Amino acid sequence: MPSPAQHRHIAREIAQFVQSRSPLRPRIGMLLGSGHASIANQLKEKVVIHGDDVPGEALHAPLLIGLLEGVPVAVADAPFAIYEGLTAADLALPVRVLKALGCDLLILTAGAASLSQQIEPGTIAILEDHLNFSGLHPLIGQNDDSIGPRFPDMNEPYAREWMDVARDVALRAGIPCAPGVFAAVAGPSMPTRAEYRFLRQAGADLVGMSLVPEAIAGVHAGCQVLALVGVTQQVLPGRSTQVSIEAMIDAADLAAPRMATVLVGIVAAARER
């Protein structure tokens, strides 16, 4: 496993290679588990960096650089699901590459199940806090002070300013949205009934298998972080927790264009700031 200094060097090497391929200097970095395809198709002056393009290094997913609503952005198909077997350092690397490219706003999207009566499938949930039950933390080990502090403050991991922007964009577009607390679990098995009950009692409104390690890495690196979740199913007390994969896919298909609409609106708002 690379040391923190080696990890910083890898991120900078990848960033320098990306900068040699595109004149654009992205202000916003997006790791998109929902809405990726639509955003990728809307990029202007797009340059695609494939996983094995970087000499001596390997990205786990292609990185796209382009203009969205006239704003330079970097987009990757992530966050990765925790159960895929990547290390916490692997999950943090894309965040550190985006920061090295100059991104000050980090936008994360993912799919998740709702544990709340008020957050229905198809809703875009705007994360206001999280519970990390994933077993992974990207800052374990020796700290690299040049990336961020040893003990970053996580009192407000998600930037309230951008939460407000996301909510306003969604409401103007007529897209259902709601704030929520997200619980990250490792997976890949779905939670048991007792685990759903525990998560709900712990204060979770949503549960999924990604996103939180990247959010922590973003806060550590000094990014403003915004996390949006496309709700794919609803798990409520007294009802069966058995998962219908078909229903989840249908809900994901509904949430994806809504997510893309919200993302475009957020970037348009950033253009004016």
**Measuring CA to CA, how many Å separate 227 from each of 178, 205, 270?**
12, 14, 16
The size of the chain, in residues, is 273
Q: Please tell me the predicted confidence (pLDDT) of residue 19.
A: 92
Q: Please tell me the predicted confidence (pLDDT) of residue 200.
A: 95
* Mean pLDDT, contiguous 10-residue spans, the chain (273 residues): 66 89 95 87 92 70 92 88 83 92 96 93 95 93 87 95 97 96 92 93 95 96 96 82 61 79 96 79
Q: Tell me the domains of the chain and their CATH numbers.
A: 4-271 (3.40.50.1580)
Q: Please tell me the predicted confidence (pLDDT) of residue 5.
A: 61
Q: Please tell me the predicted confidence (pLDDT) of residue 142.
A: 87
* 3-state secondary structure at position 260: helix
Contacts of 18 (CB under 8 A, 6+ apart): 49, 63, 65, 74, 97, 101
**Measuring CA to CA, how many Å separate 242 from each of 110, 136, 239?**
21, 26, 9
Q: Please tell me the predicted confidence (pLDDT) of residue 130.
A: 98
Q: How far is CA 239 from the centre of its chain?
A: 29
Q: Please tell me the predicted confidence (pLDDT) of residue 230.
A: 93
